[in-house]
Structure 1
């Protein structure tokens, strides 16, 4: 990977913020977009903007080809067995909610169990809380080890014959932990449960093979993987999706509508009511082309190098706490941290004054913050366009932050 050449595809990075060159370290929240994606969306609106599936005119056909072509790109990207298993959503949140409402509420009964972990994003907690309340099921949490990782022994102790759903993130957006999803899925299936995977932080950064993982459902978002906002994917095994009811109703998802009864189209369209996110899907398809040209293996290796470099450099700052595994080999490309006696929002504000963009807050993971005994943290997250020089700037900015607050107080 020639990072300097890759950076040229991202025009937003070529600017100054508060008088300094921008260092963007918030890709876990949303990634930047390459010109290939921007131009693909622009081309759709300029040249063949039209609704899909419904029209027989040329623009409609081109739009349909672009939309359904993007679905096939997603299928190949995660190695699903059929394009019917790929449902376009607004993002990971909608994907998980669809499973929690359409599958879980129809299949769970009082006393059944839903198993998640303490590290989950709110989008993988609240839908299951609501499903449990609606069905009388019990929501259980896999405990974390001291370094924030999940042990398979803990999974085996938590998942029982009463467990019907296990839903775990593949990569933590706070700890950077990479969870053993394939092994967890095997344990879930041995107990008769379905495996749901939050892939928001994994799909942009590593190869995913849903058939190898043997997960039953997977959700991820386009905007974290160089694609546009407002588009995401729900993958589900065909036999499960076929027996699930839609959660939205209206145009496009119907087969026949009578005065009292209606029937639905086949997969995947029965889950895509109304005019779909056409430009978003086309942009996501362009993002997949871009990522695959560079190579997901190359991207993952690059981010591991950056994480190791960041851990080494940041560990030298006195009074800085890094959360998650200390071994860089056990974590993805992000580092979550706090400076002693400096609120993370204050740290992020000072860093921003230096042109460095990091995230600060609870990262939509309040149960994990409680487990960490922290009200909030700061997070630097890396992607294919980041360099060691970006991390050097971060370290310099953190040293300045510490000095600034030492002088103030």
Structure 2
């Protein structure tokens, strides 16, 4: 008989990937939200057989060494449809379509329950793939059924593209074991600033809906209507009276986004991420911030993807779709200059504990907005980032 699972005592190191619960063969583990809304494993000790499998697949318990990309490129889809539906240059959409065309599955984050939650879902056609595109600045849940469906698809000989944060990719790869190295499986992590509280998001979207007097049925965190680098956050409302009503504006004017980017609402594990550059992903995707200063001859107004191919499998997958994109060689340093979160975990906001305590205690969004506006710190941070990118 083994010991009690170590994952139960991870505390703030737990990233909430759900690999432990998915790997449990007795069903003694369940992912449940903590007081701040972040999912954590809960153990039914009476059913636990102490097999140790949950500890074995946990990314936090088994950190790996950081890797250097095999190849780094910039890319921008030539398809206006794909580019408009993407947060940056559309490479995820291109990779996703290639997998769908092969009869495979694409697994990524989607809004559910009237945009109140984000969870990983499976796409098998272009329409479902569209739902997975664009950034969702809320921690998504990866259910045990998603893990099992990915494993089954691979065993059935179908291709699978899995995209998520580095910790989610690490969890899925650990769960799959040898299947993760199959040519059928392509894992993609996104450059991650950190993941905000699902509880804060649920309260926030309800607040916006109350202001509008109707439910929110779509959210675009990265609308390019005001440009790629000065993107907007838009909330779409549809009622019987209005076929379509849109609320929102530039991201710096959105309180939820300011809280996110000022690191006050992030999961504790994000302040010491154990998976950055070490999750085992085949490809890392993100915005190529600072691209216009490097390539003024290229139109980047609708976004450009930074593409880090971490494995030869990743190189092959990316090169297979590059004919449909404007692209070129880049360096890791050029990508890192505009994306410090690629390597470094962010620092928590000095008021994080007080902010989250107010959320847990049930403070209204209005009262939290009065107490914490984040306007001064947010714009100071933006100016520092711009200076760093320009110097780089």
| TM-score scaled by length of structure 2 | 0.37
> Counting helix residues as a fraction of each chain, which structure ranks higher?
1
| TM-score scaled by length of structure 1 | 0.36
